[in-house]
Amino acid sequence: MQADQRKWWKEGIVYQIYPRSFQDSNDDGIGDLRGIINRLDYIKSLGVDIVWLNPIYASPNDDNGYDISDYQSIHPDFGTMADFDELIQKMHQKGLRLVMDLVINHTSDEHIWFQESKKSRNNPYRDFYLWWPAEKGKPAARYSYFDVNNDAWQYDVHTDSYYLHYFSVKQPDLNWENPKVREAVYDMMRWWFDKGIDGFRMDVISYISKDTNFPELPKKYNGNFLPFYAQGPTIHQHLQEMNRKVLAHYNCMTVGEAPGVGLKEALDFVDEDRKELDMFFHFDLMELDRKPGEFFTMRQGGFKLSEFKKIHTDWDAVFSKKGWGSIFLSNHDFPRPVSRWANDHPKYWYHAATMLHTFLLSMRGTPYVYFGDEIGMTNVRFDKIDDYRDIGTLNAYQKTIKEGGNLQDFFANHKESSRDNARVPMQWNADKYAGFSGVTPWIPNNPNFINGIHVAAQEKDQTSVLQFFKKMVGIRKKHLTLVYGQYEILEPDHEQIYAYKRFDDRNIFLVVLNFSDTVSEFHLPAETQEAHFEIILSNYETSDHEINPEKICLQAYQAMVCKINT
Ligand code: GLC
Ligand code: CA
């Protein structure tokens, strides 16, 4: 890796905060900016460098802030602009950077632009959105994530037209082919950069470009609309323009959420020479345990470790010469990683959670850690519809009832797949509401916080998941090889163990992870059998290790990082 390609956002670790659920400071049951300010020492103590906040803007909260009614104001639930200014100032003082969520595929229907747009067909804001006059008949079908009928066209009687909404009916899609929309968005972005923010995470950025003739969905996309949505004709033109007009003028980082973008298209978005984005989140891993094309239905029989490994290996290869990857196991849209990718049974929980930390922090690419994962928070698995808050789950419930579907299956799926699994309050201590708030939170706590899954207990215990997380952060920070070094998978077909080397001219590391609940063996590559192994981290007592020249024997969910000295 050449020195001139080093970047702070490649070496940094991102900590994602869902502000509604992090820390309530004024006992209204909702997390807020003051709560984050009060927890900055904790965030800093993790060793992370960059904080990404989910949307904190004015919003009617149809989709918890992803439906923005004013891009330049703070939702009163979260506090004031003065609180925001204080937050960013204090973060910068502590050497933390701030990345904001940029939601520009759509706005809220309560945004002034849409309020105007729907008034008449010749309103100056009409073309800010995507309207289809009803006299032309019903437009070709488009899929909506958050519509009970999955229909992305909403008829509006006032102007006898349909408008497009890829997400909820309260999230109309902006018309990116209108230069006025683009300029308005760029102005807003500059305004935030001038306030001092350090970057944007761009919500469903792959979807912003649409063929506004709205042809029938080409046959090959039937059943899987994601690639179609992600391959709009003008997507790269828009991203290059945004880069030229805004991003290039700031020392910032960008990470796009990119459903539908595959290995083949990846570099078109993040090849440095194209001047578009720095990184993006692909969806291959997030779809691995789901029924194809279905967001909330779990795949029968689960996933195979060889598939999990192939996804990471293929994506690493794409960015090995150009561009840069992002490594994440969870976020606010997906369940908790220890429950999803490993095992949250109390017998295995500690080893499973620390094994995943070892993975996340030893791969090439920028690691993204979702709040609460550092202490091994697990899926809450609500079994009553009243406990759920997410529009995705609530709509799916209505749909199931409407279609006479099986509610038992519905709950079986949502207990594992609902986005609310990751949205319950942060677990700070053993107080009534886990230290999140003094009153009933906006969404119920996971009652398991009392079993030591909280910060206070884990800060005291040197052998906790949290302490292990910090140690692993320290190891990544100490060895640039773990950031920039090459990645080479060993035994790709092994269904229990994920083993890989990370190396450069200076160091060779071997990472060996048992993703199973059984003792498993891994055979060392011949060329390393003579080498001297130094175990620099393990989630079992070192004496439990059995390293002989040929094979390593790993306990359930055991993780090891070794330095190989040849
Ligand atoms: C993204 C967000 C998700 C939101 C959707 C619509 O996928 O991560 O939370 O519901 O976009 O904005
Ligand atoms: Ca509050």
Residue type, 539: N
Q: What does the radius of gyration of the chain's CA atoms come to, in whole angstroms? A: 24
Distance 456 CA to ligand 1 centre (A): 32
Same domain? For 78 and 118 the reply is no
Same domain (yes/no): 47, 89:
yes
- State residue 426's pLDDT score: 99
Residue 547: which CATH number?
2.60.40.1180
* Residue 323 resides in a domain: yes
**How close is the Cα of 21 to the center of ligand 2, in Å?**
10
Strands (E), 325-434: 326-328, 366-370
Strand partners, 408: none
Query: Is the minimum distance from the CB of 281 to ligand 1 under 6 angstroms?
Result: no
Q: Are 146 and 392 in contact, with CB atoms under 8 Å apart?
A: yes
Helix ranges, 421-532 (H): 455-460, 465-478, 480-484
Per the CB < 8 A criterion, the answer to whether 466 and 375 are in contact is: yes
Question: Given 469, 503, 530, which residue is the final one in a domain?
Answer: 469
Q: Quick one: 388 and 316 in the same domain?
A: yes
For residues 359 and 499, membership in a common domain is answered with no
- What is d(CA 42, CA 470) in angstroms, rounded to the nearest whole number? 11
Assess whether the C-beta atom of 101 lies below 6 angstroms from ligand 1. Answer: no
pLDDT, position 4:
59
Question: Which atom, in ligand 1's list, is nearest to the CA of 166?
Answer: 6
Token match 């969404």: residue?
Answer: 443
Torsion sign across C-alpha atoms 447, 378, 424, 414: negative
Shortest CA distance to 34 belongs to which of 46, 44, 22, 50? 22
Residue 333 CB–ligand 1 contact under 6 Å: yes
CATH of the domain at 129: 3.90.400.10
Q: What is the pLDDT of residue 531?
A: 79
Q: Is the minimum distance from the CB of 390 to ligand 1 under 6 angstroms? A: no
Neighbours of ion ligand 2 (CB under 5 A): 24, 26, 28, 30, 32
Q: What is the DSSP string of 160-209?
A: TEEEE-SS-TTSPBB-TTSHHHHHHHHHHHHHHHHHT--EEEETTGGGS-
365 with 502, same domain: the answer is no
Question: Which CATH number is 380's domain given?
Answer: 3.20.20.80
- 381 domain residue, yes or no: yes
Who's near 184: CB < 8 A, 6+ residues apart?
A: 113
80/229 same-domain check: yes
338/448 Cα distance (integer angstroms): 14
Nearest to 102 by CA among 255, 283, 251: 255
Q: Are residues 16 and 129 in the same domain?
A: no
Whether 508 and 501 have beta carbons less than 8 Å apart is answered as yes
Q: What is the pLDDT of residue 198?
A: 98
Is 556 within 8 Å of 514 (Cβ atoms)? yes
The DSSP symbol for 426 reads P
Residue 78 near residue 24 (C-beta atoms within 8 A): no
129 lines ligand 1 (CB under 6 A): no
Beta strands 279-281 and 253-257 are: parallel
* Residue 456, domain member (yes or no): yes
Tell me, yes or no, whether 321 and 388 share the same domain: yes
Q: How far apart are CA 285 and CA 15, in angstroms?
A: 19
Task: Specify if 3 maps to a domain.
Answer: no
Which listed ligand is nearest to 79 at the C-alpha?
Answer: 2
Where are the alpha helices (H) located in 49-80, listed in sequence order? none
Spatial separation of the C-alpha atoms in residues 425 and 453, rounded to whole Å: 12
Please state the atom number of ligand 1 nearest to the C-alpha of residue 106.
12
Whose C-alpha lies nearest to ligand 1, atom 9? 333
pLDDT tens per residue across span 57-114: 999 999 999 999 999 999 999 999 999 999 999 999 999 999 999 999 999 999 999 9
Give dist(CA 32, CA 269) in Å, integer.
Answer: 33
Q: What is the pLDDT of residue 555?
A: 95
Whole-model pTM over 0.75: yes
Name the residues annotated as catalytic: 203, 257
Residue 174 within any structural domain of the chain: no
Ligand 1 atom nearest the C-alpha of 392 is 10
Same domain, 386 and 505: no
My answer on whether 348 and 450 are in the same domain is: yes
3-state secondary structure of 15: strand
Assess contact for 78 and 100: CB atoms under 8 A.
no
Rounded CA separation 308/315 (Å): 11
Q: How far apart are CA 51 and CA 66, in angstroms?
A: 18
DSSP 51: E
SS (H, E, C) 489-553: EECCCCCCEEEEEEECCCCEEEEEEECCCCCEEEECCHHHCCCEEEEEEECCCHHHCEECCCEEE
So what's the pLDDT on residue 135?
98
| Domains: count for the chain | 3
What pLDDT shows up at residue 36? 99
Look at residue 546 in the predicted model and tell me its pLDDT: 54
Could you tell me if the CB of 269 is within 6 A of ligand 1? no
Q: Are residues 439 and 305 in the same domain?
A: yes
Q: Which residues contact 12 (CB under 8 A, 6 or more apart)?
A: 48, 49, 50, 97, 366
Sites in the chain below the pLDDT cut of 70: 1-4, 542-549
Q: Is residue 2 part of a domain?
A: no
**401 vs 311: CA distance, rounded Å:** 36
Residue 527: predicted pLDDT: 75
Does residue 169 lie within any of the structural domains? no
Write down the residue that tokens 């509006």 correspond to: 156
**Is residue 476 situated within a structural domain?**
no
Distinct helix (H) and strand (E) counts, the chain = 17, 21
Range of the domain at 244: 11-107+179-469
- 45 and 157: one domain? no
Q: Tokens 């055979």 — which residue?
A: 523
